[in-house]
Structure 1
């Protein structure tokens, strides 16, 4: 470039020196200047490429700046990975190029200097040299870890987009703790709220205050605060209320949602089946009496079935009893009272009338299945029955104790309680925005039980939508309308059970778009307790976003789906040989060769996944297309939240400590 500029200057100022006419000199000066500019651009690209191998340019974006498209979902900035990127990444690992990838000696010296003087009177110098500012020539490298060269192998970044038509195939995001999963979730949730094509439901077991704040702000910016619901087990006093078993398509779902939390391993399977049957008996009786099932009344009647038996017969006998049944019951009750007084040990029930009702119904030989179920439950010995439901009662007591009990079993007729009550059908119809904080760090078992019940309820609603449409039963409702339900499940392995399999496998037909976030494949397998089921879940996610992971097996979920590519390998061969011919003037010969051979290697290796910097990922989208993407760093929005949510997030911050500001 310098030679071209110098020659252009001579041609322009003194063309006669080069024996040129002025016109030829000016033309030559223009050509040489253009060539110098071309070489300057090339040199700039090389310099930028080398600089990026150590430090990528800062990439930040506020919530308002996040793009939002109707037909595509924005993931971040990146490029489609190809064979030449694998070639470049292999080249950076050669020892001869270590100076381009390792920190410079000057930078290392200043970091050592800062450590030495940080507790001395010269500590202010350490603060100056350690500031991450463009004007600081020795500023430290970003504390994102990993290998920045993985993304630096391509200079031309562009927006990485996922077609909305592919979202119904569901998306799985994997990454170890604190590498950017929450930031990715915020980017995707922001777009789903702004797009307003359906409800946005977010399950957050660990209760991240930043995620709650950004969800509310997104709802506020789009004018949808009336559609925002916050359900939080840790703060029931300001949380919306939800009855996990109050809405169902089939009555057997109630027993499945509750007993699904019980262990089914070994001998526990038989007790789980008994618990399912007993809950089903109670639920059927409650529904027949016109009562909405909830955890409180299920616990009440599981503990003592006698009052429910009496209530059911008081409702059933006037419609099905023989003429004069009331007199017969009164007479039999009087006999039972006399018997109980004369020999208290013969008392089988707390109320003599229960004994009279039981005997009367047994004489009728009725065929009512609900009544038969109540009779069979009533015949169990109390000690034997307590053993059968020993695992069920502690679970129900945990779900109904204290303020959480009123949260999960709301009183629909309490006009003094202004906390909203929601259900999934209502949320889907009004395109609501729901944040569900399960407070898993306080009580893992309750958070898992509630989240699992919500999943089961949502599966049921999806099945109803698939069959009838979400406006089924409404005046002039259309049966064929399918909503786009955007479900984001952080740490979804803590929430999932057997009911998650049909959700991820079949719910796409009802408009469900699941984005699940977890740390490793082992988390899914540990939760389900079955390798085959874990692989079944993984196989139903068409899109895969892989951040940094620590397990080779997890990284292989991505790398095993990629083809092998050919890269060039340069080999230097040198040799020398002497001559045994005494009459020859040649004593020895030498040769040096550079051989280029083609080598087949995997497009990506598990080691590349485990060395990703924070905030970066590989994405397998659109049927196997591999993209390298990095997510924008957040810029705080200066907007106000309601006072009650501010107090809530302050309390959440006290109990939720993370490396959320890793980019700083």
Structure 2
């Protein structure tokens, strides 16, 4: 028998005190007998009081308040593991070590049953031990943000806490996810904003054209050492004058040749040589330009349209900092979906960069990435993130309500996510998907007892008899048999009947019935006020600032052809031309090349 809890401890303490009071050491002490009897009496009363607790049994037949036997828990070092909860049968701590956390954890259950509270406790444990996290929260809950800020503050880490909140740009850090990474990575992030074109050859053609355009444009900008924003890219994709100006900014290189070859497909012959057909370019790239422009306008622009962003996701993860991202899914569902996709795409690039580091330079403990309401931000390609993030020391925690939402991406998407999550935490289900959850939790072998009872009675008489009595007989039999059969470890009805904060957990092959912990915060937490961080311009790089010239570049009122010769140096090395009203003359770039 294992002893645990306050009542058991009091009983054992009383018995020990009684034994000490009757020891020879206290011989001759007048109160020793009274002490011994009092302590023994207290011990006996405590023992009796705890009888129901000690004689508790596992009852899985109850509709509510049931207890199901758990597998043996892992005995882990507290410094190398996280607490998931306490088992309902033996009240033992279920701790999951860091290497298992890095294999990802799926948190599943209907709304309001404790998923976010449980995840909040995991994040608190992570902050308290000096780890970092990224939290994508689609609820836009001001209280949640204050609680996350409070965690950082009471652990002395408020300077490491960053917030992205497009609903309140004045109370948000800045972020430009397209400024970092190689051209292919940046183009991939942006193309994740476009819905799948599989099965539509025409749409796929324009998607491939936009992908190539973004790749060569970003490569040219990087070779020219120019810092750019969403607004700059949007103008380049729509303006022939902006493209011409960019070509002149790029030094002779393979990237410049690739850009010129791409632009050549949009050129048309004129009497003065050739010029870019703006209408053809807008037809091919205008849709992508519109999607990019969303991040350059209004509240989104105040957060994203910068060349000195405070948030660099790779550095956040590597340096074990904390990032809380609020997604306005209720009021701006399309914009929030695009923002979530952008962050997840940036996360993929960050993981790729982390994989290139030596193992001792990767975050330890693993950085936790909580993807709350995962159904609202799922997209193609995110399954690959689950396959490779472990080697980057990034632990993903997708939290969602149903498997059906994941299948909207593709029929086998839910299977890919479940396949790549080592830990599965099932809270209360309210639908028939509880059967699918029960299947995931596994089956075991049980025995069914069958009892058969038989009774018989007969009588008869002989035609010629010497005995006056007739022949009478009766019989009685009892048969018992046991049959082995496969059954669910946790029945679907039990998954539907879980209480709030109660869950079935699967860690590898072991299954547990636990009660999850929660963090209790002080009442009336003060509203969070963002801490701004000064970020200087990188050395030898200057802003592109095409957005400041949008009137001349988009409307055609400026001298884009000769702006390099007529520009006045602002003193920052940017070489931005002043706005002129002279007529624009087309340039024959083929001849110049």
Matched pairs, number: 465
Deviation at 1:485, TM superposition (A): 1.6
Paired residues of 2:228 and 2:307 also in contact (CA < 8 A)? no
1:163 aligns with 2:97: yes
Cα gap change, 1:490 to 1:586, in 2 (>3 Å): farther
Cα gap change, 1:586 to 1:252, in 2 (>3 Å): same
User: 1:191: which partner in 2?
Assistant: 125
1:503 aligns with 2:385: yes
Separation in structure 1 between the aligned mates of residue 432 and residue 153 of structure 2, nearest angstrom = 42
Describe how 1:264-283 pairs up with structure 2 within 5 A: 264-265=196-197, 266-267=199-200, 268-283=203-218
Describe how 1:367-446 pairs up with structure 2 within 5 A: 368-379=257-268, 381-412=277-308, 421-446=310-335
Paired residues of 1:168 and 1:512 also in contact (CA < 8 A)? yes
Which of 173, 178, 188 is the matching residue for 1:256?
188
Q: Deviations over 1:143-190 (max 9, x none)?
A: xxxxxxxxxxx3x32212112221111111111222211111111111
1:219 aligns with 2:152: yes
Q: Secondary structure at the match of 1:515?
A: strand
Separation in structure 1 between the aligned mates of residue 171 and residue 255 of structure 2, nearest angstrom = 49
Which of 564, 583, 606 is the matching residue for 2:492?
606
Separation in structure 1 between the aligned mates of residue 405 and residue 343 of structure 2, nearest angstrom = 20
Most deviating of 478-487 and 251-260: 478-487
Separation in structure 2 between the aligned mates of residue 515 and residue 366 of structure 1, nearest angstrom = 39
User: 1:247: which partner in 2?
Assistant: 180
Deviation at 1:37, TM superposition (A): 9.1
Q: Secondary structure at the match of 1:569?
A: strand
1:447 aligns with 2:336: yes
Q: Secondary structure at the match of 1:391?
A: helix
Deviation at 1:74, TM superposition (A): 0.6
Which of 206, 221, 237 is the matching residue for 1:286?
221
Question: RMSD of aligned C-alpha atoms?
Answer: 3.7
User: 1:75: which partner in 2?
Assistant: 84
Separation in structure 1 between the aligned mates of residue 51 and residue 477 of structure 2, nearest angstrom = 31
Deviation at 1:569, TM superposition (A): 2.9
Q: Deviations over 1:454-509 (max 9, x none)?
A: 22222212212211349xxxxxxx86776622111112232233332232111211
Paired residues of 1:182 and 1:211 also in contact (CA < 8 A)? no
Separation in structure 1 between the aligned mates of residue 445 and residue 478 of structure 2, nearest angstrom = 25
TM-score by length of 2: 0.70
User: 2:347: which partner in 1?
Assistant: 458
Q: Deviations over 1:178-223 (max 9, x none)?
A: 2211111111111011111x32111112223443232212111111
Gaps of 5+ in 2: 1-39, 67-75, 269-275, 462-467, 531-593
Which of 232, 247, 250 is the matching residue for 1:297?
232
Q: Deviations over 1:565-613 (max 9, x none)?
A: 2235354x44543432367689785758473524424123333323322
Deviation at 1:226, TM superposition (A): 0.8
Q: Secondary structure at the match of 1:213?
A: helix
Q: Secondary structure at the match of 1:635?
A: coil
Describe how 1:198-237 pairs up with structure 2 within 5 A: 198-237=131-170
User: 1:629: which partner in 2?
Assistant: 514
Most deviating of 267-276 and 368-377: 368-377
Paired residues of 1:487 and 1:515 also in contact (CA < 8 A)? yes
Most deviating of 421-430 and 233-242: 421-430
Deviation at 1:617, TM superposition (A): 1.2
Most deviating of 368-377 and 553-562: 553-562
Separation in structure 2 between the aligned mates of residue 641 and residue 625 of structure 1, nearest angstrom = 42
Q: Deviations over 1:376-424 (max 9, x none)?
A: 3455644443333353233223222212112112253xxxxxxx71111
Describe how 1:32-43 pairs up with structure 2 within 5 A: 42=51
Which of 170, 179, 189 is the matching residue for 2:113?
179
Q: Deviations over 1:110-168 (max 9, x none)?
A: xxxxxxxxxxxxxxxxxxxxxxxxxxxxxxxxxxxxxxxxxxxx3x3221211222111
1:615 aligns with 2:497: no
Separation in structure 1 between the aligned mates of residue 49 and residue 460 of structure 2, nearest angstrom = 55
Separation in structure 2 between the aligned mates of residue 366 and residue 397 of structure 1, nearest angstrom = 24
Q: Secondary structure at the match of 2:151?
A: helix
Paired residues of 1:455 and 1:500 also in contact (CA < 8 A)? yes
Higher helix share: 1
User: 2:482: which partner in 1?
Assistant: 597
Deviation at 1:227, TM superposition (A): 0.7
Separation in structure 1 between the aligned mates of residue 364 and residue 323 of structure 2, nearest angstrom = 19
Paired residues of 1:186 and 1:214 also in contact (CA < 8 A)? no
1:579 aligns with 2:455: no
Describe how 1:307-318 pairs up with structure 2 within 5 A: 307-313=242-248, 316=251
Cα gap change, 1:46 to 1:584, in 2 (>3 Å): farther
